Structure formats: C-alpha cells, structure tokens
Amino acid sequence: MSFCYDESWHKTNYLKTMVSIINKAIVKELAQRYQHTRNCMVVGYQGLKSLEANELRKDLYTKKIHLEIVKDSLASLAFKEIGLEGIGRLLEGPSALVSGPIDSAVLAKTVVEWSKKVPALKIRGGMVEGNVISSPEVEVLSKLPTKPVLHTQFVTLLQAPMSRLAAVLSAPLHKLLGDLEALKDKREKEGTSAAPAS
C-alpha cells in the first residue's frame, strides 16, 4: 500500500480553515462593537466615487460619526448573534454602517443630507434605540428636532405656565404696592402743601 501526499488538497483545506477562522473573528469583533450601539444607519454605497467617499468620511469624522464598510453575510451573522436580526435584513449589496455616540436625529439628518449630496449613497434603514426602522422612517427622523432642542422646548413649555402663575399671583401685590406708593405720595403732597399754609 502506497501513501500519496496531495499537496494541493492540504493547501486548499488550510486556506478554507484560515478563512473560516478570520471570518469568525470578524463576526465576533462586529458583534462586540455593535452590541451596545443604540443608533445606527445602514447605507448602500455602490457607485460612490472615492473622492465623495473621502469627503463623506472627513465630514462624519468631524461630527464623531463612524462609517464602516462591512461584508453583508458577516455583519448579518454578527447582528443575529446580538439579537438584532432586523439590521441584518437591511444588509443587501455593498453596505456600510453609520454610527456614533450622538443623538439619533443628528445621525439621521447627517445621513439624509449626504444622500441628497451624493445620490450613490442609498439609505436602507437603521436602528434607533434598538428598534429597526425603514428608509422612510429615517427621513422622518431627520426632520425631528434633536434631543437638546426638545429638552429646551420642554423646559420652556413647563416654565410658561409657572411664569403666568407667578405674574397672576404677583399682580395684586404690585397693585397693592402701587396703591400704597400713591397714598404715600398723596400724603407727602398734602403734608408739604399743609406746611406752608400754617
């Protein structure tokens, strides 16, 4: 019995094993990176020119937004692993994930603005506070005020009734003070007019 060593078979199996190990590492890294991400947008970038991509990345970087091009199948596995299968369904064709530690409305506004500047950038949907949203919902979200603006509006709304109440409550006091001041002035005038007559 002779033993035949097939070198090509070993190389092929070795390469398959290495690719499998690398893919598993990528899935694990993506899962760890996006496990605690609450807001993320999925965009298609097919046809995006390199100059446009560079401008996009620079602008996003200044806003502390991260753009990551991902392999659909691996990203889908990673999102499935962390219980966000819905995001995986948005990954069809060349895809990129846009995320950052910012308000979801700001993230949506930025992505929508760039999709208008660069038609090759297609919004597929996203995730807001862990909920998957569609492309039209990203458009709607982009038109909403940001959290700081909403907080300011809310505080102003709360303060308005209190200001009105304070004004209503202080009005009688102001009137009383005004009446007392007028009475004092009247007595002073009567006192000064009565003094020369004596």
Given a contact cutoff of 8 angstroms between Cβ atoms, the answer to whether 138 and 108 are in contact is: yes
Q: What is the pLDDT of residue 17?
A: 81
Task: Name the 3-class secondary structure at 66.
Answer: strand
Overall average pLDDT of the 148-155 stretch: 69
Q: What is the pLDDT of residue 108?
A: 92
Q: Return the percentage of the chain with pLDDT > 70, whole number.
A: 75
Q: What is the pLDDT of residue 114?
A: 93
How far, in Å, CA of 87 to CA of 133, rounded? Answer: 9
Residue 165 has pLDDT above 70, yes or no: no
Interstrand relation of 122-128 and 95-99 (parallel, antiparallel or unpaired): unpaired
Task: Name the 3-class secondary structure at 61.
Answer: helix
The pTM assigned to this predicted structure is 0.67
Residue 170 has pLDDT above 70, yes or no: no
pLDDT in tens, 40-85: 999 999 998 989 989 999 999 999 999 999 998 999 999 998 888 8
pLDDT in tens, 99-125: 988 788 889 999 999 999 999 999 999
